[in-house]
Structure 1
């Protein structure tokens, strides 16, 4: 994580979904380090063990649950300043092997969850006069890749959704942006970095010649959450080591 100080984040109330995973943990920790009040959520409370935050269970596929969480946070802390839709899911499979249930699960977590989380947050942000929403897309939503047609389609949807929401909500004081990570060393990508041969093969294709770290995504989140990006909205920030350009 960088040593940059975002003083304006101190005291801000931030919600991070999927905080039990590698990127979610890093984002929650980075916000806490900047003095934010962090509400960390995951569908599995046990997955958030060790996360320094107000940890709460949330199944992002349940719109009512997202609305209830946003209302509870606003009631307890007085605001919802930052909402980061980080919860995601990917099951690698050839397109011919993806059945309806697998497709629906991927869409529900990645796209439906992002929309209804953003909507729940925006209701409070618009009422309070402003806020920041950050969605997690993926380089796979920008550049086609094999064996994840459902995930890539969902993340492409997140990227476009981000721009649509920015058009509607930015005039009301709510900035909406997205981060599109490339290959990041997290449990979700263990299929790649867990095998030396596979790891070397993929790294050789990356212009940066290495995988990214969760803290590097957290740094991007801090920038987008802070006033350092006050004139940035509707943007999809690729943090991918250049892989989307290959």
Structure 2
């Protein structure tokens, strides 16, 4: 119960990695604000947390929209008080060859993945600065370190998040705010299910992962929990790679 009495706001918290983080943080005693754009999935996540004895609320918000983000933060604080941890997990990934990427798809990846992390972080950091403490965790990707094909827009957005993490950490440290990131490798989520269900494709892909298996969202949640806890009190500006060793081969 490392987060008792704390309040965590999680964007993209209704599915995949974000949802796993919401569940794990609630198990550790945090009051959780789960934000996203899918009302049904948000409510299911919140109800699951309630069923296990945790505290949570859902807020419908599009991280691409500043007014939505500001409302999200206001509703979170109104419900559970000052935000101790922000997890920027909202993201999209729609693979396509570089020469076929449409402008709107480029904008979508940059706006959701990178701009969304910026807007949420700025809004929450302003509030954290009033208390002189806080932790911001950006969910990035190994693709922000070593690129994969057919994902130029995704790769660029995640590389931007890694830079954002370091830059924010530098500026926010004097305010008592730590900023770190997690770079997942290939994780079993709704986005990766089509590849996982393709036996031939997944068999080939697993050869790029030294540990020889797909990662679980819960394993990313464990890394995020470490960064949010006092165990990481002297860490800021770094991103933890959780990828089964995949980056070794990608680089």
TM-score by length of structure 2 reads: 0.93
How far residue 244 of structure 1 moved from its aligned partner, in angstroms, is 1.0
Aligned to 2:218: 215
- Counterpart-to-counterpart distance in 2, 1:45 and 1:228: 34
Is 1:22 the equivalent of 2:16? Answer: yes
- Comparing 49-58 and 213-222, the one that deviates more: 49-58
Deviations along 1:178-236, one digit per CA (max 9) or x if unpaired, are 10000000011123212111111111221110010000000001000011000000001
Superposition pairs of residues 58-207 of structure 1, within 5 angstroms: 58-207=61-210
Match 1:54 to one of 43, 57, 65:
57
Deviations along 1:83-137, one digit per CA (max 9) or x if unpaired, are 1000000001000000111100111100000000100110000111110100011
Contact 2:59–2:75 under 8 Å retained in 1: no
Indicate the SS of the match to 1:205.
coil
How far residue 13 of structure 1 moved from its aligned partner, in angstroms, is 0.5
- Counterpart-to-counterpart distance in 2, 1:144 and 1:107: 16
Aligned length: 240
- Counterpart-to-counterpart distance in 1, 2:43 and 2:187: 21
Query: Measured at CA, do residues 187 and 236 of structure 1 come closer, stay the same or move farther in structure 2, by a change above 3 Å?
Result: same
Structure 2: unaligned runs, 5 residues or longer: 50-55
TM-score by length of structure 1 reads: 0.95
Indicate the SS of the match to 1:116.
helix
**Which stretches of structure 1, 4 residues or longer, exceed 6 Å deviation after superposition?**
none
- Counterpart-to-counterpart distance in 1, 2:41 and 2:197: 20
- Counterpart-to-counterpart distance in 2, 1:11 and 1:160: 31
- Counterpart-to-counterpart distance in 1, 2:136 and 2:184: 17
Aligned to 1:34: 28
Aligned to 1:43: 37
Aligned to 1:10: 4
Aligned to 1:239: 242
